[in-house]
Amino acid sequence: MRITILNGEPDPTSAFDAYQALLADRLQALGHTVEKLDLRALEIKGCSGCFGCWVKTPGECIKRDESATICRAAISSDLLLLASPMTMGFTTALLKRAADQMIPILHPYFVVEGGEIHHRARYAHYPKLGLLVGAGLDTDAEDIEIATAMWRRMARDMKSTLAFTAVADRAAEEMANEIALAA
Amino acid sequence: MKSLLLLNGSPRGERSNSMKMLSRVAEGWVRGGGAQPELLHIVRRGQFQRAVEAFAAADVVLLGMPLYTDAMPAIVMAYIEALAPRVAAARAGECNPTLAFLVQGGFPEAAHSRPLERYLAKLAVRLGAPYAGTIVRGGGEALQAMPEQANKKLWMRLTILGEQLARDGRFGPAELKAVAGIERFSRFGVLLASLACKVPAIQFYWDGMLKKNGARGQRFAAPYGPAFEE
């Protein structure tokens, strides 16, 4: 399985960052291909809602930044692992900035799916999504549930499903096994 | 007179659908006896900073935003992260302002925005702040395309909500329900919407812009992998 980790941790010295490195190693040891994208190191300008990626340069953001790296990695992956510490009850703004920049992988046309209006697919294949969070001191079960609900909707819009939400509270090896099973 | 910090969280800034809606709520706020609000567009760097600094001193903060990939836009999350010291302040016994929100989604149904609404309600709890409610409204992207007359009812409802906020310190549940419009499509609605999506005219909004930009021929471009085929 090809796995892309979108690392939304702003702090390179954090334990959660080290945990992801370990997890990537364990997943590789299980035979998966893993690419970890440290979002803090990528130049992502942020979506300004111009719809240029839909109506000017279809499929690509009109801004010259590194958001194309994320879109390309997503489309060529089987699992997109959204990794972020919980902050103020949700995943980070850094991770959200990457997610906002992913709309080029959809087509603007409207379709009805599951009884709701959504956008048409642009690609034949989309990755499954997984959510890996580092709980903060004030994170409670409700926060995880709400974050899961929002990312589940995002997955649905991305023609995919949220395969799991996992809290990074167990050994990386155990987590790697669980992720391989869930995805 | 109560003070209102009016925050526009749209990445489009001044010329956004969120701003259009927020200004109607602000109108109602003033009509209801509130002081002239301080308006800040948090997508502008200087105004973002001012919005962080001005937060604690306001009586009421109304933060409006479009729904971006089923949640708040990144700039709004960055603002919320910048409020982290206010969680500690509340725990130390300081007061935070009453929080009110407005979320407008592009799709017609309000249901898309409900998980975000839930998050915002919990944010108020986290900040130990009184929660005035969240205005949720679908079909926001269509606002600019519509003639002014077609939005009259919506503007009126938003003004009433602003009045309620100034007068009662919260949005009224009945008015919140009314302003939301379509919550979910009924079975019949799903059928109609499915048919409508098959009619080329319904995609005219996008096709028109694609044509104008000379990009209609490339509209199914798939630069990162095999294209979806119907």
pLDDT tens digits for B90-117? Answer: 999 999 999 999 999 999 999 999 999 9
Q: Which residue numbers in chain A have pLDDT < 50?
A: none
Alpha helices in chain A (DSSP H): 15-29, 52-55, 67-75, 93-100, 141-157, 172-182
Q: What is the CA radius of gyration of chain B?
A: 19
Task: Give the pLDDT of residue B230.
Answer: 82
In order of A49, B37, B117, B146, the CA distances from B24 in angstroms are 22, 12, 20, 16
By CA distance, what is B81's nearest residue in A? A88
CB-CB under 8 Å, B74 with A47: yes
Task: Give the pLDDT of residue B198.
Answer: 81
* Paired residues of A55 in beta bridges: none
3-state secondary structure of B170: coil
DSSP, residue by residue, B121-169: HHHHHHTT--EEEEEEES-GGGGTTS-GGGGHHHHHHHHHHHHHHHHHS
Burial of B33 by CB count in 10 Å (0-12 exposed, 13-18 middle, 19+ buried)?
exposed
Can you tell me which residue has the tokens 């949005």? B171
Give residue B202's pLDDT band: very low, low, confident or very high (50, 70, 90).
confident
Type and span of the H or E element at B190: helix B187-198
| pLDDT tens string A71-111 | 999 999 999 999 999 999 999 999 999 999 999 999 999 99
As a whole-number percent, the residues of chain B with pLDDT over 90 amount to 84
Give residue B148's pLDDT band: very low, low, confident or very high (50, 70, 90).
confident
Task: Give the pLDDT of residue B204.
Answer: 81
Residues in B closer than 8 angstroms to A49, CB to CB, are 10-12, 16, 66, 68, 73
Residues in A closer than 8 angstroms to B75, CB to CB, are 46, 93
Check pLDDT > 80 for residue B201. no
Residues in A closer than 8 angstroms to B184, CB to CB, are 115-116
Residue B200 touches chain A, beta carbons under 8 Å: no
Q: For A122, which of B108, B202, B227 is closest by C-beta distance?
A: B227
CATH H superfamily, domain B4-179: Flavodoxin domain (3.40.50.360)
Residue with the larger pLDDT of the pair A55 and B193 = A55
Q: What's the farthest any 2 CA atoms get from each other in chain B?
A: 61
Give residue B10's pLDDT band: very low, low, confident or very high (50, 70, 90).
very high
pTM metric for this prediction:
0.97
Delimit the domains of chain B by residue range: 4-179, 187-216
Task: Give the pLDDT of residue A90.
Answer: 98
The answer to whether A107 and A119 are in contact (CB under 8 A) is yes
Type and span of the H or E element at B211: helix B204-212
Q: For A100, which of B69, B193, B202 is closest by C-beta distance?
A: B69
How far apart are the C-alpha atoms of B127 and B77, rounded to whole Å? 15
Task: Give the pLDDT of residue B146.
Answer: 75
Which 46-65 residues of chain B touch chain A by CB within 8 A?
Answer: none
Residues in A closer than 8 angstroms to B223, CB to CB, are 59-60, 72
* Paired residues of A42 in beta bridges: none
Residue B68 touches chain A, beta carbons under 8 Å: yes
Q: What is the mean pLDDT of residues B144-168?
A: 91
The answer to whether A120 and A103 are in contact (CB under 8 A) is no
Task: Give the pLDDT of residue B192.
Answer: 87
Delimit the domains of chain A by residue range: 2-182
| pLDDT tens string B112-136 | 999 999 999 999 999 999 999 999 9
Task: Give the pLDDT of residue B161.
Answer: 98
Torsion angles phi and psi, residue B129, rounded to 5 = -105, 145
- Cα dihedral B209, B213, B218, B222 in deg (nearest 10): -80
Give residue B147's pLDDT band: very low, low, confident or very high (50, 70, 90).
confident
Beta-strand pair A106-113/A116-121: antiparallel
Q: Which fold has domain A2-182?
A: Rossmann fold (3.40.50)
